[in-house]
Structures are given as C-alpha cells and as structure tokens.
Amino acid sequence: MPCTGLNCPKPTSLETNNEYSYEKLTQTAEYLKSLISFTPQIGIICGSGLGSLADSIQQKIEVPYPQIPNFPQSTVKGHSGCLVFGYIATVPLVCMKGRFHYYEGYPLEKCAMPVRVMKLLGIELLIVTNAAGGLNPNYKVGDVMLIKDHVNLMGFAGCNPLRGPNEERFGPRFPSMNGAYDPRLRAEAQKIAQGAGLAKGVHEGVYACLGGPCYETIAENRLLRQLGVDTVGMSTVHEVIVAKHCGLPVFAFSLVTNESVCDYESKVEPKHDEVIDAAKSMEAVLQKFVQGIIEFVAKNGVK
C-alpha cells in the first residue's frame, strides 16, 4: 500500500501523465491508419545514411514526422524524418526514414515509441538497421554484421526504455531478452546476403549502444572489445528491447561505417559525414539485401 500519511505527496499515476501512454500511442496509430488502406506487416527502421532503403517501396505514402500526432522530430543529419508506407515484394510495410537517439535529448522510451506505434499498426516483424563502428578486428568498412545479441550498456546504468510503470497491454514487467534477434531469419540472411553481393563481408555478432553523442575513446573501444562487443553505435538496443517486450520478432544488422580505433598511435577519427558516406556507398547492395529478406518473409511467413 502507498503511504497515506497527511504529509506524503499523493502518488501520481505515471501512466495517466505519460506522454506515451497506451491511449496516446493508440491515437497516433489511429491517425496513421486513417491515411492507409492496408495493414503493414513489416516495420523497417533506417540507420544513419540508410534512408534509401525506402527507395524500393512501391505505391508510397509518405508522412513527415511533424504531421504525426505525439511523434518526436528527427534532428540528425542522415535521418530525414518521414514514415513511408507501401509495398516491397507485395508485402505491405512501414519504414521509418529517421530514428530517434538518446543524445538528441529524448528519453529512451520516446526514442523507442515508434516501435509500439508500429506494433499497434499491426506489424509482425521489425527490421532494424544501423551504422556502427567495427570493433572486431576482422571487420572492415562496408561489412555487414547480423546482430545476434546486444549489450545494453546504458541499461547497466539504469537507463531502459521500459523503466516506469509496466504497460501490460504491451508485455510483461520482466521480459526475457533471449532470442530477441530472430535466429531463423538470421540463418536465412546469410544465404540472402550472398545473392545480394555481400558474400565476403557478412558476420554475426554483438552490438552495444552507448548514449553518445561523443564517439568512444580508445580506452572505451578497448574495453568494449574485451566485453565481446563487435559493433558499437548509439541506437537499436532500446528499439529491440521494446519490440521483444511486445512480442515482435526482430531482424537487425549493423553496417560497419568506420573502424573503431583501439590504437593510440592511430590518427583516424570517426566523423558523422564519413559514416553517412560509407552508408550511402552501400545503398544499392543493402536495398537488394533487405528486399531479399522481405521476399523470404513473403514466401515463408514471419514464424
């Protein structure tokens, strides 16, 4: 029982005050449903410089974020800020050209709220992409790493998108994160990658998200390597946590856009413009790769 003494502040319901309550998210989803005549089956989140993944969408309906009730706004170069609805390989889908990051000033639950909106729209699979630093010494710029697991470093410090009252209509208070990255799609993606021209550079590994916006120090990169992290970025993990919580299977990959420096002699510095350029140079191949995944889902279903 909460304290009922006269001097105790009344407990406020975070749920009813919450900007991202179930009711608010439902409003957002209902608004978006009113613009489309189909149920999206797949949701795609484009990483930095990867917005061109939306180029292969047919019968596009584009909805800029400022037009969407309760939606955050994109503030980062390489994230244009628009939802694109349409079809790839006859599969109805919704694609986020622009995601939200903690360093933009948004709390993690706000960064991840579009995942819940997409769940309410009816998606059955989430495809998450990111630009990332390659920590694994075998990775080169332009390689793709299928994410098999993550290290929720921000979670070690108590930052988690599920912090606060649990919304049972999405999922349980204590969700397991095992199997968050769908193993069947990952196995299939290895074959699909070869067809898309990615044969040499497809790895499977572990991604870690830091809060940013600073890139990691050399000491931090060395530490992350020792922790078994293969790619590092500032996104994805909170989106996947929210997806797993509400029962959405996830297929996710990192594009290695820069090598994470672990050597004090190195003069190499990460730069966001170079991250974007590296992503752009892989546009065509990654479009083909994602299309291959969607074609597989069209033929075989999500489960």
Residue from 29, 112, 113, 131 carrying the catalytic annotation: 131
Amino acid identity of 270?
Answer: P
Question: Is 100 assigned a ligand-binding role in the annotation?
Answer: yes
Shortest Å, Cβ 47 to ligand R1P: 3
Instruction: Please report, as a single letter, which amino acid is at residue 42.
Output: I
Query: Does the protein bind ligand HPA through residue 232 (CB under 6 A)?
Result: yes
235 labelled catalytic: yes
A 10 A CB-CB count for 135 gives 27
Q: Which is nearer to ligand R1P, 272 or 288 (CB)?
A: 272
Cβ closest to ligand HPA, residue 111 vs residue 132: 132
Query: Which residues, 6 or more positions from 191, have their beta carbon under 8 angstroms from its beta carbon?
Result: none
Q: Is 270 in the site for ligand HPA (CB under 6 A)?
A: yes
Smallest distance from the beta carbon of 211 to ligand HPA, in angstroms? 10
Any contact of residue 116 with ligand R1P (CB under 6 A)? Answer: no
User: Are 150 and 236 a contacting pair, CB within 8 Å?
Assistant: yes
Residue 282 interacting with ligand R1P (CB under 6 A): no
Query: By beta-carbon distance, which residue lies closest to ligand R1P?
Result: 47
Please answer whether residues 28 and 68 qualify as being in contact, where contact means their C-beta atoms are separated by less than 8 angstroms. yes
Measured from the Cβ of residue 190, the count of other Cβ atoms closer than 10 Å reads 14
DSSP 181: B
Residues of this chain, 225-264, that bind ligand R1P according to CB under 6 A: 233-235
Residue 61 buriedness (CB in 10 A; 0-12 / 13-18 / 19+): middle
Among 275, 286, 294, 297, binds ligand R1P (CB under 6 A): 275
What is the DSSP secondary structure assignment for residue 19, as one 8-state letter? T
Give the list of residues 6+ apart from residue 64 with CB closer than 8 angstroms, or none: 81, 82
User: Residue 151 interacts with ligand R1P (CB under 6 A)?
Assistant: no
Judged by CB under 6 A, the stretch of 49-57, 65-73, 126-134, 187-195 that binds ligand HPA is 126-134
What is the token pair recorded at 153?
Answer: 């470093």
Q: For the chain, where are the alpha helices, taking DSSP H only?
A: 14-17, 22-33, 108-121, 153-156, 183-195, 218-226, 237-245, 272-280, 283-300
- What's the closest the beta carbon of residue 235 comes to ligand R1P, in angstroms? 3
Q: Which of 96, 102, 104, 207 is catalytic?
A: 104
HSE toward the beta carbon, residue 270, CA cutoff 13 A: 26
Q: Which residues pair with 150 in a beta bridge?
A: 207
Mark the binding-site residues for a purine D-ribonucleoside, compressed into ranges: 216, 258
Binding residues vs ligand R1P (CB under 6 A): 47-48, 76, 99, 101, 130-131, 212, 233-235, 272, 275
Binding residues vs ligand HPA (CB under 6 A): 131-133, 215-216, 232-234, 257-258, 260, 270, 275
Catalytic residue IDs: 48, 79, 101, 103-104, 131, 234-235, 258, 272
